[in-house]
């Protein structure tokens, strides 16, 4: 009570001292005009809060803003496109919305031309420019941002808070968390320390710093509205969404910027907004700093993110599911099915189990489970508590990678196909004879990798030669590229379209 009494006194004194009243005489008629001058913000005297130690501390943003702003940068990414050779991403909006990729190939072929009657036929390369934000995380020039800010960029330019401009190199990306690590050639830079995002509490004051609408060094304040949010915005096949939700204003251009606590510690990287208009509508989402830390450490140590997996299909438990499945709990993560070569399945977890804890941390949602497991590497052991028909059971699970192995790839040993972002199959003899080729490898799937980022190759492309050499099996192809450095030229054909196509990329 004594502390709150002091708080009230401080508020009253602050309010009394901030407003002064002056009476002026307007010339000519002697009429008095009352003008109120505010010599200080009324909240200065009243804005106090109680910290975790029970101490009364001022709620002050100015010092934090001064500390944080120099470590938040503006990012401009440029992608050069040849407007005479459209792919499905460059069609006018009505066409892009109407056609799917396979339909476009069916009607027009993989490289059809779309020429607007209002434009000249030969306009040459044109640049698409996107902007966002980034956070300097150490003095050596390493910068964290969102993958979608720099994805497919041919040139990345970083502008510091003091207006110095640098070219940035991509150290690595992780589409599954929408994070990317860049580096600029500069030392002794201001940076933000990462704090333990598990300690962040709902209701805690936070600040968002970034460059919305190209308005550099913009600071907004709010609170943590929720934790562990999954909004299904990431399209990667291994996406991990366990966002910190905040009502601090976040707009386009804030992507990749900092979400910090009142001590200036980085608790998240601003990534997305929920809005019916495309602009701020009260909800912003940030990748927690613990996920950021894991991604950065992996990219620096291994050159890629190495994440452990349970090998389960899961969903949230709620009242309806509990009733449907006759469960004894209404929160947790329900095991729907178990994949082949599953780490959790081999440890004894069964379909119908409800995961309640991981390493003694309560797990109420799939987002939280994915976040916790996603911080571990293949080979790590995690203790999992499940509810099985009302009985609690404990299991020790050794996590595996996506290939079902309990090993970590050393730098440079990641499968070439993962680096390229493709799945391949050998060309059958009948198709080879039809196409009059000696053999080849057909691309059956494309996901995030060098081919998708640096070429416009399509699913269905048949690789007939690599650097002039013929490869008839996937193993031969992989073995050749494992020790390859520098540029690679891929030659091939599409089964239903005439001509030979060439794609180049670097290793």
Catalytic residues: 148, 178, 255
CB 446 within 8 A of CB 415: no
Could you tell me which residues come within 8 angstroms of residue 417 by beta carbon, excluding any fewer than 6 positions away?
423, 424, 474, 478
Picking from 175, 184, 171, the residue whose alpha carbon sits closest to that of residue 74 is: 184
DSSP characters for 191-259?
---B--GGG--TT-EEEEEE-GGG-SSEEEEEEEEEEEE------STT----EEEE-S---TT-TT-EE
Instruction: Determine phi and psi for 434, rounding to 5 degrees.
Output: -60, -40
The rounded distance, in Å, linking the Cα atoms of 243 and 271 is: 9
The rounded distance, in Å, linking the Cα atoms of 166 and 350 is: 53
CB 366 within 8 A of CB 315: yes
* 352, 357, 359, 361 alpha-carbon torsion, rounded to 10°: 160
Residue with tokens 């420019």: 129
Could you tell me which residues come within 8 angstroms of residue 284 by beta carbon, excluding any fewer than 6 positions away?
208, 245, 246, 247, 248, 249, 250, 254, 270, 272, 273, 274
The rounded distance, in Å, linking the Cα atoms of 108 and 115 is: 13
The rounded distance, in Å, linking the Cα atoms of 255 and 275 is: 14
CB 149 within 8 A of CB 156: no
Query: For the chain, how are helix, strand and coil distributed in percent, rounded to 5?
Result: 25, 35, 40
The rounded distance, in Å, linking the Cα atoms of 410 and 290 is: 22
DSSP characters for 422-476?
EEEEEPPHHHHHHHT-S--EEEEEE-SSHHHHH----TT-EEEEETTB---SHHH
* 165, 166, 167, 172 alpha-carbon torsion, rounded to 10°: -120
The rounded distance, in Å, linking the Cα atoms of 238 and 417 is: 16
What is the 3 state secondary structure string of 159-208?
ECCCCCEEEEEEEEEECCCCEEEEEECCCCCCCCCECCHHHCCCCCEEEE
CA–CA distance from 347 to each of 41, 366, 399 (Å)? 61, 20, 10
The rounded distance, in Å, linking the Cα atoms of 495 and 110 is: 11
């Amino acid at each position: 009570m004594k502390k709150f009494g002091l708080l009230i006194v401080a508020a009253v004194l602050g309010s009394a001292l901030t407003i002064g009243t002056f009476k002026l005489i307007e010339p000519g008629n002697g009429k008095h005009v009352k003008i109120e001058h505010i010599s200080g913000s009324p909240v200065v005297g009243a804005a106090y809060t109680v910290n975790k130690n029970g101490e009364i501390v001022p709620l002050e943003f100015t010092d934090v803003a001064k500390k944080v702003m120099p470590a938040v940068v503006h990012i401009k990414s440029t992608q050069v496109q040849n407007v005479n050779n459209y792919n499905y991403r460059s069609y006018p909006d009505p066409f892009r919305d109407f056609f799917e990729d396979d339909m476009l190939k069916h009607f027009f072929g993989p490289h059809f031309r779309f020429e607007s009657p209002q434009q000249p036929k030969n306009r040459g390369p044109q640049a698409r420019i996107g902007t966002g934000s980034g956070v300097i995380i150490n003095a050596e020039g390493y910068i964290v941002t969102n993958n979608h800010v720099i994805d497919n960029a041919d040139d990345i330019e970083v502008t510091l808070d003091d207006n110095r401009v640098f070219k940035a190199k991509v150290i690595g990306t992780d589409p599954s968390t929408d994070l990317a690590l860049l580096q600029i050639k500069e030392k002794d830079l201001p940076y933000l320390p990462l704090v333990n995002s598990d300690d962040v509490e709902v209701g805690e004051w936070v600040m968002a710093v970034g460059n919305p609408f190209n308005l550099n060094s913009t600071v907004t304040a709010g609170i943590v509205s929720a934790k562990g949010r999954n909004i299904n915005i990431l399209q990667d096949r291994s996406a991990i969404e366990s966002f910190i939700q905040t009502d601090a204003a976040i707009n386009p251009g804030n992507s990749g910027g900092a979400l910090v606590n009142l001590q200036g510690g980085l608790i998240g990287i601003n990534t997305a907004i929920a809005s019916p208009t495309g602009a701020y509508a009260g909800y912003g989402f940030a990748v927690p700093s613990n996920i950021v830390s894991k991604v950065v450490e992996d990219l620096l140590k291994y050159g890629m993110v190495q994440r452990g997996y349970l090998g389960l299909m899961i969903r949230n438990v709620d009242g309806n599911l509990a009733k449907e499945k006759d469960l004894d709990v209404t929160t947790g993560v329900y095991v729907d099915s178990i994949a082949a070569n599953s780490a959790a399945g081999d440890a004894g977890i069964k379909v119908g189990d409800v995961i309640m804890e991981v390493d003694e941390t309560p797990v109420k949602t799939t987002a939280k489970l994915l976040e916790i497991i996603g911080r571990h590497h293949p080979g790590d052991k995690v203790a999992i508590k499940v509810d099985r028909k009302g009985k609690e059971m404990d299991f020790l699970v050794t996590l595996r990678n996506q290939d079902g192995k309990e090993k970590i790839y050393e730098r440079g040993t990641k499968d070439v196909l993962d680096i390229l972002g493709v799945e391949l199959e050998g060309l059958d003899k009948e198709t080879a004879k039809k196409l009059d080729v000696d053999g080849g490898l057909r691309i059956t799937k494309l996901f995030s990798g060098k081919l998708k980022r640096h070429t416009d190759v399509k699913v269905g492309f048949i690789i007939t030669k690599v650097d002039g050499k013929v490869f008839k099996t996937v193993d031969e192809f992989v073995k050749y590229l494992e020790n390859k450095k520098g540029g690679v030229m891929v030659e091939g054909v599409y089964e239903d379209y005439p001509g030979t196509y060439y794609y180049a990329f670097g290793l």
